[in-house]
Structure 1
Amino acid sequence: MKTKLILLALLLPCSFLFAQNYYMSAPEGFGAATTGGGSATPVTVTTLTDLTAKLKLTTPQVILVSGTINCTYTSVQAKDKTILGLPGARLINLDQTASGSGILNLKAGSNNIIIRNLIFEGPGAYDTDGHDNLTSEATNLWVDHCEFQDGTDGNFDNKGAADNVTVSWCKFTYLKAPKAGGPGGADDHRFSDLIGSSKTDAPADGHYSITFKNCYWAEGCKERMPRARNAELHILNCYYNTSVSGSLAIGLGGGSNNTTCYVEGTDFAKIGTAFKNYTSTDGGTIRITFKDCLNAPANSGTTVTKQAYNYSVLPTANVAGFISNPSCGAGATLQVTAQGVISTSCNNLGLNENVHN
């Protein structure tokens, strides 16, 4: 019996570690303090009106999104909310005009928000200076297992007051051909993720603190994976695979407060350029370090040290296979019951992780 108990004790941590990676009960990284709606009784919404009404409530809410919701651009201040997509749940807006494009904007003052297992679908890239599938000025935000498709201006941007954010197991892609001739001047605006809207844009503490963990910049992405100013970024176990000509993954400018970026265990499998320095236009200084990455360029600036928080790490050699897995990888791949219970059925992938303390 003693031998069996010892074996069980050895096996449980491995199972737990994987569960905390594919299915995380709480975020790791800069957004680790996010709790969303907590233990509030889940409510199901099927229309934009219902979704918006629940987001505006002052009480904590766990909101289950069912089916496809056709959206108009919605700007809302939300606090203590969890938005969880049931399997196949999708928010969609096919408007390409500057004022009508985009899906959800979390206004300044939004705080403690979780968004999981949703597909955001836009009409395709068109440089009209329009809106994004998701734009956030929220503090304490966790976006997990979502798929962002075909944003007009971008897929998912953080700007203004946004801070303490974790983006995990998300997939960014462009499935529709870009529309040329927009007044903004770029005929191919498949630009996925902007952090800071200008070199002077920054949260109260001066730095956008954002973790990208197990994310997948997939086919169709051209630039901004991400593009950041005034930021401290941790890009962990991410996967880049896009065949777009001239594609650019990470772009950094210093801005008013300088920028650091620690890229760890990441696979730049197929990308035109992995990193570009924008200090000539953004000012300030940048530092970027690539640690245990595949196909990565040289570091820039003095070495960036790893983040002080605890987090789990996949072996870099396993990143491509696990992040791109269509059933148990990045994107809206969680199984969620009608009661809001998330499945952990993907624990059987047999993956071993390490934990960094």
Structure 2
Amino acid sequence: MSATAPPARSRRRRRVMAAAAISVSVLAAGTMLAVGQLDASAAESSPVGFAALNGGTKGGGSSTVVTVNTAAALKTALASSTAQTVKISGMITISGMYTVASNKTVLGSGASSGVTGGGFNLSGVKNVIIRNLVFTNASDDAINVQSGSTNVWIDHNDLSNGFDGLIDIKRGSDFVTVSWNHLHDHDKSMLLGHSDDNGAQDLGHLRTTYVHNWFDGTNQRHPRVRFANPVHVLNNYYSNIGSYGVASAMNAGVFVERNYFENVAKPTMTIGDTNLGNIKVLNNYKVNSGTELVRNPASVAAIPYAYTPEAAANVKAAVKAGAGTGKL
């Protein structure tokens, strides 16, 4: 749906709606899960979308909690084989990519805790949750999910000013949800599938849900997708995007649904001279934005979980109120 700014009466009505806790839900694997709420204080306690499938994503649990405030302690805790919650207190300066082992919840304490100078590498792991953390000035990626990692939930983080990607998912990883993150001051935001020649590993994988993220003045890759089908891009807010919003390549199938595009010249596009990607769009809301490109929508696979999306016109208010740190 394309629209100009709503009339005053409609804007007032939507402000009233945004002030209320209006729940929308996903039904996955027989469990009712909240996709999101306009009440920013009510964050989900478990992941939604693809990370809720394949047995779910539970992280490290609460039986063992380790609080860290130095780089050495953080590196040791993240790489430990123990299932645990690692709480980061304050901003920690790190160098390079720190390895995150399976069965971990990595959680920031307060709104201003996280890492600067480096990032997290999830390689061949399962059952990892990363929430409420600030990632800035990474020397490579801020968060790199690769080598067949499965069941990963990246939620309510603030990410900016990295060298490469802010959240890159690649090399056959699967069942990932990226939700309620605030991305800003950056060029290449999110890559899904790293190379055109990696189809043997990626086909049938890379299934990811992007929901309630705020792409705030970033330039490209929100996400850029190769091979994956389906990918669900739902209820995100795109504001003042430099190059493009969502890109599909290498026969990927991306469903771009009920997002809010504001000042985005190219909300969706395909990339490449051959093996272009496929894009299906539904009821996106646009303000001062271009027309979505649609290609072979029938080839985009059905989303394999039931859900009730938020109305696109309400997404801006909901995401601005709820995305980023300090909202858990």
Q: What does residue 10 of structure 1 align with?
A: none
- Under a length normalisation based on structure 1, what TM-score does the superposition of the two structures give? 0.74
The aligned residue for residue 307 of structure 1 is: 303
Whether 1:76 aligns to 2:69 is: no
For 1:156 and 1:285, locate their aligned partners in 2 and report how far apart those are by CA, in whole Å. 23
1:142·1:167 contact (CA, 8 Å) conserved in 2?
yes
Instruction: Decide which of 244, 257, 267 is 1:264's aligned counterpart.
Output: 257
Structure 2 stretches of 5 or more lacking a match? 1-20, 26-32, 38-42
Contact 1:252 1:279 in 2 (8 A): no
**Residue 324 of structure 1, CA deviation:** 1.2
TM-score by length of 2: 0.80
For 2:253 and 2:69, locate their aligned partners in 1 and report how far apart those are by CA, in whole Å.
41
Q: Partner of 1:273 in structure 2?
A: 266
Residue 285 of structure 1 and its aligned partner are, at CA, apart by 4.5
Q: Which residue of 1 aligns with 2:210?
A: 212
Alpha-carbon contact 1:193-1:225 (below 8 Å) kept: yes
Alignment of 1:5-84 (within 5 A): 17=24, 20=34, 21-22=36-37, 23-32=43-52, 33-84=56-107
1:38-72 alpha-carbon deviations (Å, 9 max, x no partner): 23232211112112211222121111111111011
CA-CA distance at 1:269 after TM superposition:
1.2
For 1:91 and 1:106, how far apart are their aligned partners in 2? Answer: 16
Structure 1: how far apart are the matches of 2:22 and 2:271?
42
User: How far has the Cα of 1:141 moved from its partner?
Assistant: 0.4
Q: 2:116 pairs with 61, 69, 92, which one?
A: 92
Check conservation: 2:269, 2:292, Cα contact below 8 A: no
Q: Does residue 154 of the first structure (1) align with residue 152 of the second (2)?
A: no
Q: Which of 88, 103, 128 is the equivalent residue of 1:113? A: 128
What are the superposed Cα offsets for residues 284-335 of structure 1, whole Å, 9 maximum, x if unpaired?
353211111113514211333541213342111110111112xxx1111324
Cα distance, 1:201 vs. partner?
2.6
Distance 1:272 1:333, change over 3 A: farther
Q: How many matched pairs? A: 282
Asked whether the equivalents of residues 150 and 174 of structure 1 are also in contact (C-alpha less than 8 Å), the reply is yes
Match of 1:248 in 2: 244
- The alpha-carbon deviation at position 209 of structure 1 amounts to 0.5
CA distance in 2, matches of 1:323, 1:40: 32
Q: Structure 1 residue 266: deviation in Å?
A: 0.5
Deviations 1:89-134 (A, max 9, x none): 12101xxxxxxxx422222x211100000110116xxxxxx62111
Determine the structure 2 residue equivalent to 1:323. 319
Aligned-residue RMSD, C-alpha: 2.1
CA distance in 2, matches of 1:311, 1:26: 15
Where does residue 237 of structure 1 map in the other structure? 235
Distance of 2:122 and 2:192 partners within structure 1:
14
After TM superposition, give the deviation of residue 199 of structure 1 in Å.
0.8
User: Percent of aligned pairs with the same residue?
Assistant: 31
Q: Which has the higher contact order (CA 8 A, sep 6+)?
A: 2
8 Å Cα contact 1:159-1:201 kept in structure 2 = no
The residue aligned with 1:340 is none
Letter aligned with residue 211 of structure 1: T
Amino acid at match of 1:160: R
Give the structure with the larger strand fraction: 2
Query: Which of 137, 145, 151 lines up with 1:136 in the alignment?
Result: 145
Q: 2: distance between equivalents of 1:251 and 1:305?
A: 17
- Please tell me whether the aligned partners of residues 97 and 140 of structure 2 are also in contact (alpha carbons under 8 angstroms): no
SS of 2:197's partner is coil
| 1:193-204 alignment runs, 5 A limit | 193-201=190-198, 203=201
3-state SS of 1:160 partner:
coil
Aligned mates of 2:241, 2:80 — CA distance in 1:
43
